[in-house]
Amino acid sequence: MGYDWDGVRTRRLRYLRIAGAIASMVWLCGFAAFIGHNAYSSSVQEAAIVGTGAAEDGDLF
């Protein structure tokens, strides 16, 4: 045959494990950035609404 199927399989599994770890890290970083951006933008919007007094006038709804 000339193929070391065990070596091929373990190498492929190692690449898959490394790719999975990288993908999960990228996903977690993106998810954290998404959550942080949403929290930041909502707090800025609330501050802008309170600062202009538009919430009391009812201009937003």
> Do 22 and 29 meet the contact criterion of CB atoms below 8 Å apart?
no
What integer pLDDT is reported at residue 3 of this predicted model? 59
> Do 49 and 60 meet the contact criterion of CB atoms below 8 Å apart?
yes
pLDDT by residue for the chain (61 residues), tens only, comes to: 455 666 667 778 888 899 999 999 998 888 888 877 776 666 666 665 555 555 555 555 4
What integer pLDDT is reported at residue 23 of this predicted model? 92
Q: Is 55 exposed, middle or buried (0-12, 13-18, 19+ CB in 10 A)?
A: middle
